[in-house]
Structure 1
Amino acid sequence: MSQKVHFIAIGGSVMHNLAIALHRQGYQITGSDDEIYDPASSRLQKLGLLPAEIGWFPEKIHQGLDAVILGMHARKDNPELARAQELGIPIYSYPEYIYQQSQNKQRVVIAGSHGKTTITSIILHALRVNNRQFDYLVGAQLEGFETMVKLTKSAPLIVVEGDEYPASPTDLAPKFLHYHPHIALISGIAWDHYNVFPTWEGYVQQFEQLADSLSKSGVLVFDETDDMLDVIGKNERVDVRPVPYNVHPHKIVNGQTFLTTQAYGDVPLLIFGEHNMKNISGALAVCEEVGLTQEQFYRAIQTFKGAANRMETLAKNAHSAAFKDFAHAPSKVEATTKAAKSQFPARELVACVELHTFSSLNKNFLGQYAHKLDAADVAVVYYNPHTLAHKRLEPIEPEEVKAAFQRPSLEVFTDKDALQAFLTSLSWKNKNLLMMSSGTFGGLELKELASQIIT
């Protein structure tokens, strides 16, 4: 008999991918949600998993279910959840469920405020190039991987991108604690998500818990250039082996980055930026722990193109290029801006960031962006006043944004058409454009804009 599993909030990015992964294993999947957007909607529809109606239906919960998986998007008073509790059906957050399914596997968890998607992606790429069998959970769509989650009975290893946010509406413990890793990597700690962690101390504590939760013979891989991690990583833990890493030696020749290695010479890369040289070092350390050789890793890294929306090239010619990046938190904005400038030091850099998340639009948090765009020659910030109203936040004036970034020459826009007009008015000879956001710049067609200015 195949297992029957119901998803409450099936439209979530990991939730719908997990539903698809289980469906492919022969499980009988049902689900509900009060909103489902693409790509989740069309992917679920293609496999016959899209709920017939939007909303919550307690009648979908019945004694014949083996498990209910509860997504973070549902609320504590969800009627389907109440019914499942009433019937005594096992209820899991998705991290708990993934642990249940991977108790006999070697578990690797990649955590940290920044870089975790890229590090996880590099590890998966290296394992796949070297024909290793593995399961995974990653937070972005990767080229060559059909889904963001793979869960099988046979793979001896699972690699999980684990975050520090609550596991479900009824379980506020960080997701990464539920995976019980044998190997944990922490890539860096930079306070973000002010709405979930109101204080820096409360935020750091999540990562201390992860390090302290490692079992005997566990391995903690960490970025030793991060001041906070250097302390956490070097705390004495019985039978836990610390593996520090830092920036991989590299050089830039004519706008291309090469890793410099003693045994294998210069290794050409398709990605760049000092933050990515750290990501490569962390991924290499983990790959060695799970049995890949350095030679296997360096051969694989040459064909790694990066995760979706991470320093993606929108358009380029001989003297200019346009990139988009998911960077939105202060630490990411700084690292991405520096990377774009160092890769092309002879070109001017126009760096544009959208304030889109709850934290970035919060007056109490805005000061965290001070000097984060200093590497740019022209610095631009866009935000949409409707987003502030929608998130029920106090209005912000452009002058307050300039003061927070501590950059008097900062260009601030609240209208996407005005932003587009400004960018198209510039001369783009020997100039690069960098667009950074987890949003859409008010619906700006970035590819069209890029090809318009870089012709």
Structure 2
Amino acid sequence: MRIHFIAIGGSAMHNLALALHDKGYEITGSDDIIYEPSKSRLKAQGLLPPSFGWYPDKIVSDLDAVILGMHAREDNPELLRARKLGLTIYSYPEFLYEQSKNKTRVVIGGSHGKTTITSMILHVLKYHNREVDFMVGAQLEGFDRMVHLTEENDFIVLEGDEYLSSPIDRRPKFHLYQPNIALLSGIAWDHMNVFPTFENYLSQFQIFVDGIVQGGSITYNEEDEAVVQIIENTQNQIRKFPYQTPAYHIEAGQTFLETEEGPLPVHVFGRHNLSNLAGAKWICQQMGIDEDDFYQAISSFTGASKRLEKIGETETSVVYKDFAHSPSKVAATTHASREQFPDKTLVACMELHTYSSLNETFLSHYRGALDAADVAGVFYSPESVAIKKLSPLSESQIRDAFRNDKLKIFTDPDQFKHFLYGLDKENSVYLFMSSGNYGGLDLPAFLKHLG
């Protein structure tokens, strides 16, 4: 097959391009800019566009398909040309469904935890040499790609993102997968630029559960009221498997999971991650992995990239990086770090970076999110607010929203850096939560400063 990617440089898009190239497809692509590591990875396989920009002459009538990324716009010249020629145009999730409609589709959904749960499942399956197709939203240790597609594998494991499919398909991605086996980890309002009310956001998850193949199953977090409401409301004839946070204890900074065979040390920590683990166990059991084999494998799971990822430590201090940006994720990650290291000074820093987090009407949802920290810092860029065409934010608005007397607020990268470097380096836990980089903070240099 000959397939052209419009916006090939995205994290998900370039991984799909590489997976299809491995499968023997002829791949071309375009983008107006491509960052690392996508750039080097595409170049290594001969898939990097020779120049950046949009070139309608790349769109020819004998293409079997065009895959359209979210980064492109509706008036993209290559897209307009593809439509004029009547070519088959897929969104990313549409194409994944086409590649997997004869497989058993396992889809992991939820506002939070889906990357970690998907990663746990793939780690366990790989540990026991079970071959499956997959798509996951983070680079995993031991895996070359975030996407893997074959003709022969019976299962495909998909991270079910609720964000939009493409510029011309406004359906959430996870509505398109039609799972046989599904999981719902939790619901907390996110993406308010697309889903302006919680009720509207909630309805997307109802559609997801209602769309499970008849006779399929939903594994769900029974500790989340919104999730339970969705499960109770569905008329879909599916099997229902609830899960909850398992029993555990912590000794000297080490989390132990309580099992029938005794305490099991695990690398991940925090109630939210142990809840994720319980969900992953249920899914693995439905895929043929028994409980003992699951525990044997999960004890070596060190986490997904940027999900409470340990990036450095000294004799007395440790540094973690996390993708957390929504209020529920920030609160869960901060509380987990406090619980894991009760005798250390917890320095929790987050960046208001996404559309929702920078929206003045959404800020109040962050109330109490950083209360578990001894030192709390918030960074945001007024330029980012302007780029997103939002109302300017003031320090007082942020302080009122978080309701935290200890909160320090920064808009200048140099002042934020000076704040960090001025803290006591000993016996501390540093937690950096952001999908951005705090205006260019050099984390490797900070780690070197800690010694």
Worse-superposed segment, 307-316 or 437-446: 307-316
- 2:219 alignment partner, SS class: strand
Take 1:219 and 1:4, find their aligned partners in 2: how far apart are those partners? 36
Distance 1:343 1:96, change over 3 A: same
Distance 1:49-1:261 versus aligned 2 partners, 3 A rule: same
Distance 1:94 1:426 in 2: 45
How far 1:317 sits from its partner (Å)? Answer: 3.0
Read off the aligned partner of 1:287 and give its amino acid letter. Answer: C
**Which residue of the partner structure matches residue 222 of structure 1?**
220
- CA drift at 1:61: 1.3
Matches within 5 A, 1:49-198: 49-198=47-196
**Alpha-carbon contact 2:13-2:69 (below 8 Å) kept:** yes
- What residue identity is the alignment partner of 2:407? L
Correspondence for 2:366: 369
Counterpart in 2 of 1:269? 266
Q: Secondary structure at the match of 1:216?
A: coil
CA contact (8 A) 1:333 1:373 kept: yes
Bigger shift: residues 58-67 or 18-27: 58-67
Q: What residue in structure 2 maps to residue 310 of structure 1? A: 307
> CA offset at residue 450 of structure 1?
2.8
After superposition, the C-alpha distances for 1:426-455 in whole angstroms (9 at most, x for unaligned) are: 2233322111111001111113213313x3
- Structure-2-length-normalised TM-score: 0.98
In structure 1, distance between residues paired with 2:428 and 2:89: 54
Q: CA deviation at 1:372?
A: 0.6
Partner residue in 2 for 1:295: 292
Distance 1:343 1:63 in 2: 58
> Which of 329, 332, 337 is residue 332 of structure 1 equivalent to?
329
- Structure 2: which amino acid aligns with 1:134? V
Q: Give the one of 34, 45, 48 matched to 2:46.
A: 48
Is the CA contact 2:210–2:236 (under 8 Å) kept in the aligned structure 1? Answer: no
Quote the offset at 1:150 in angstroms.
0.4
Letter paired with 1:364: T
In the alignment, the residues of structure 1 paired with residue 405 and residue 47 of structure 2 have an alpha-carbon distance, to the nearest angstrom, of: 52
* One-letter amino acid of the structure 2 residue matched with residue 370 of structure 1: R
Mapped contact 1:320–1:429 kept (Cα < 8 A)? yes
**Which residue of the partner structure matches residue 323 of structure 1?**
320
Separation in 2, partners of 1:451, 1:315: 9
* 8 Å CA contact retained: 1:315, 1:451: no
Q: CA deviation at 1:390?
A: 2.2
Partner Cα separation in structure 2 for residue 359 and residue 236 of structure 1: 29
The question of whether the paired residues in 2 share the 8 Å contact of 1:182 and 1:219 is answered with: yes
Give the equivalent residue in structure 2 for 1:34: 32
| Equivalent position SS for 1:443 | coil
Q: Deviations over 1:40-98 (max 9, x none)?
A: 11111111111112111111111211111111111112222222222222111111111
Deviation at 1:183, TM superposition (A): 0.8
CA contact (8 A) 1:271 1:304 kept: yes
Deviation at 1:408, TM superposition (A): 2.5
Matched position secondary structure for 1:442: coil
Aligned to 2:394: 397
Amino acid at match of 2:105: R
- Whether 1:416 and 2:413 are equivalent positions in the alignment is yes
User: Unmatched 5+ residue regions in structure 1?
Assistant: none
Q: Could you say which residue in structure 1 is the equivalent of 2:340?
A: 343
Alpha-carbon distance, 1:392 to partner: 2.3
For residues 332-375 of structure 1, give each alpha carbon's deviation from its aligned partner in whole angstroms, at most 9, with x where no partner exists.
10000000000011122111111111111111111111111111
| Matched-pair identity in % | 53
Q: How far did 1:238 drift? A: 4.4
Provide the C-alpha distance between the structure 2 equivalents of 1:247 and 1:231, rounded to a whole number of angstroms: 19
Q: Is residue 109–residue 184 contact of structure 2 (8 Å, CA) maintained in 1?
A: yes
Q: Displacement, 1:186?
A: 1.0
CA contact (8 A) 1:234 1:242 kept: no
Which letter maps to 1:385? P
Q: Distance in 1 between matches of 2:211 and 2:42?
A: 36
Of 431, 434, 438, which residue of structure 2 is paired with 1:437? Answer: 434
Is 1:256–1:343's contact at 8 Å kept on the other side of the alignment? yes
Q: Deviations along 1:285-315, whole A, 9 cap, x unmatched?
A: 1001111111111010011010111112232
* Counterpart residue identity of residue 86, structure 2: G
Counterpart CA distance in 2 for 1:387 and 1:103 is 40
The two structures have a TM-score, normalised by structure 1, of 0.97
Secondary structure class of the residue paired with 2:51: coil
Measured after TM superposition, the shift of residue 378 of structure 1 is 1.4
